[in-house]
Amino acid sequence: MGKMFCFQCEQTAGGKGCTIQGVCGKTANTANNQDELTCELIGLARAGYHGKRSHTADELIVDGLFTTVTNVNFDEDSIKSLKNKVSQEALRLGGTKPYDFAALWQDDKDIVSLRSTLLFGMRGMASYAHHARVLGKNDDEVTAWFYKGLAEFANDHTVDEWLALLMEFGQINLKCMALLDAANTGAYGTPTPTQVTCNIEKGPFIVVSGHDLRDLYMLLKQTEGKGINIYTHGEMLPAHAYPELHKFAHLKGNFGTAWQNQQKEFINLPAPVLFTTNCIMPPKENYKDRIFTTSVVAYPSMVHIDADENGKKDFTPLIEKTIELGGYTENQHQTGINGGDKLVTGFAHGAVLAVADKVIAAVKSGAIKHIFLVGGCDGAKPGRNYYTEFVKQTPKDTVILTLACGKFRFNDIDAGEIGGLPRIMDMGQCNDAYSAIQVAVALANAFGVGVNELPLSMVLSWYEQKAVCILLTLLSLGIKNIRIGPTLPAFLSENVLNVLIEKFALTPVTTPEADLKAILG
Ligand code: SF4
Ligand code: SF4
Among 7, 21, 27, the mutation site with the greatest number of ligand 1 atoms within 8 A of its Cβ is 7
What per-residue confidence (pLDDT) applies to 349? 96
Q: How many angstroms separate the alpha carbon of residue 378 from the centre of ligand 2?
A: 7
What is the atom index within ligand 2 of the atom nearest the CA of 71?
Answer: 8
**pLDDT score at 52:** 85
3-state SS assignment for residue 374: strand
How many Å apart are CA 250 and CA 233, to the nearest integer? 15
Under DSSP, the state recorded for 300 is T
Give the atom of ligand 2 at the shortest distance from the alpha carbon of 463.
3
370: helix, strand or coil: strand
Taking the centre of ligand 2 as the mean of its atom positions, its distance from the CA of residue 419, in whole angstroms, is: 31
CA of 187 to the centre of ligand 1 (A): 34
Q: Give residue-wise pLDDT tens across range 137-195.
A: 999 999 999 999 999 999 999 999 999 999 999 999 999 999 999 999 999 999 999 99
- Ligand number nearest CA of 16 is 1
What pLDDT is stored for residue 2 in this prediction?
67
In the chain, the amino acid numbered 187 is: A
Q: From 262, 378, 381, give the residue whose CB has the most ligand 2 atoms within 8 Å, as the site to mutate.
A: 378
Could you write out the DSSP letters of every residue in 178-246? Answer: HHHHHHHHHHH-----EEEE--B-SB-EEEEESS-HHHHHHHHHHHTTTT-EEEE-GGGGGGGGSHHHH
DSSP string, 429-452: -GGGHHHHHHHHHHHHHHHTS-GG
**Closest ligand 2 atom, residue 467 Cα:** 2
**How much distance in Å is there from the Cα of 162 to the middle of ligand 2?**
27
The domains found in the chain, sorted by start residue, are 13-165 (1.20.1270), 194-325 (3.40.50.2030), 347-520 (3.40.50.2030)
Q: Is the CB of 278 under 6 A from ligand 2?
A: yes
How far, in Å, is the centroid of ligand 2 from the Cα of 235? 7
User: What is the Cα–Cα distance from 509 to 283, expressed in whole angstroms?
Assistant: 32
Closest ligand to Cα 381: 1
pTM assigned to the model: 0.97
Q: Specify the pLDDT at position 420.
A: 85
Cβ proximity of 236 and 276 under 8 Å: yes
Which residue's alpha carbon is nearest to atom 6 within ligand 1?
6
Listing DSSP states for 46-72 in one string gives HHHHHS---HHHHHHHHHHHHHTSTTT
Atom 1 (ligand 1) nearest CA: 70
Give the full edge-to-edge strand order of the sheet including 507-508.
424-426, 398-402, 370-376, 456-461, 483-485, 507-508
pLDDT, one tens digit per residue, over 213-268 is 999 999 999 999 999 999 999 999 999 999 999 999 999 999 999 999 999 999 99
Cα–Cα dist 96/269, whole Å: 50
Q: Which ligand is nearest to the CA of 4?
A: 1
CA neighbor of 373 nearest in space, from 426, 445, 446: 426
Percentage, residues of the chain above pLDDT 90:
97
In the predicted structure, residue 408 carries a pLDDT above the cut 60? yes
Order of strands across the sheet that contains 342-345: 303-305, 291-294, 273-275, 205-209, 229-232, 251-254, 194-197, 342-345
Check if 10 has its Cβ closer than 6 Å to any atom of ligand 2. Answer: no
